[in-house]
Chains A and B, each alone.
Chain A
Amino acid sequence: MPKPEILDPQGKAVQGALPRLGFTGVTDVRQGKRFEIEIDGEVTDAVIAEVEKMAETLLSNPVIENYTVSVEGQQ
């Protein structure tokens, strides 16, 4: 997600469109990215640490974005 202090022009565009469609009461919209990363095998702490590293190195720019890593159900 863009950090709170960073302007998010895309979020502003979405926020501007909502009232035009009749959706009221929205005070702010911020737009981010979601990456779904599939891992072979068990999701251990070491694997999560590796994904955190991916997030920090490539998937996000820490200068302007925050990220969170979460594990979802196995398939």
Chain B
Amino acid sequence: MKVGVVTFPGSLDDVDAQRAVRIGGNEAVALWHGDADLKGVDAVVLPGGFSYGDYLRCGAISRFAPVMEKVVEAANGGMPVLGICNGFQILCESHLLPGALIRNDHRKFVCRDQLLRIENATTPWTSAYTQGQEIRIVLKNGEGGFVADAETLARIEGEGQVVARYLELNPNGSLNDIAGVTNERGNVVGLMPHPEHAVEELTGSGLDGLGFFTSLVEKTFA
């Protein structure tokens, strides 16, 4: 599959994400924020970083980048979209995902190897995992507190839209320890920790993140 990785001004993890896509067995295609063109890709990754300097709110300006018009359109048509960290923030600002991400409750940037539980292994990004599987990948964020109103929270919990949950400790004040969510359709996934940094023994904390990039193939040929 061809997986597009969008580079915004201020993206940091776009090259790592491209590499993870390739290691996961797919073709990585670089997409540019200023081009309203998805270059025929089958899926899109919005990488981590500080797009547009996080000005206004994280993801608020990226949401209106020319490429995002196409991403929103494709996501609404069922294309798999994964947003990691800043990408998750962009997806929430785009209203492709419920809730929002606010400053960590303890007000400090956090960087740690974080234990997670995969709560939903049916999405095109998590099908390589088993339901309830525990993985440890890097978390690094300043504004990773997932919030939503009580009604929305009850709905996403009830509908199985929580994709991953923090274990051992809640690193940023996220409600219900939520680390990642999906949309109603299940094709759009946002995750605060970074699976793309855990796909190689040499440079990562392990291989626990690889499943996010191999799931696409397994889903396609399942």
- A interface, CB within 8 angstroms of B: 2, 5-7, 9-10, 12-13, 58-59, 61, 63-64
Contact = CB atoms under 8 A, between A and B. Distances in A.
Contacts, number: 39
B145 A61 contact: no
Contacts of B57: 61
B56 A58 contact: yes
Interface residues of B, number: 21
B147 A64 contact: yes
Contact of A7 (B56, B93, B99, B105): B105
Nearest to A13: B107
B109 interface: no
Interface string B135-149: 000000000010111
Given A7-B105, A7-B173, A13-B107, A61 B93 contact: yes
A9 B100 contact: no
Given A63-B148, A64-B100, A64-B102, 10 more contacts: A6-B102, A7-B173, A9-B102, A9-B103, A9-B145, A9-B173, A61-B57, A61-B60, A61-B93, A63-B100
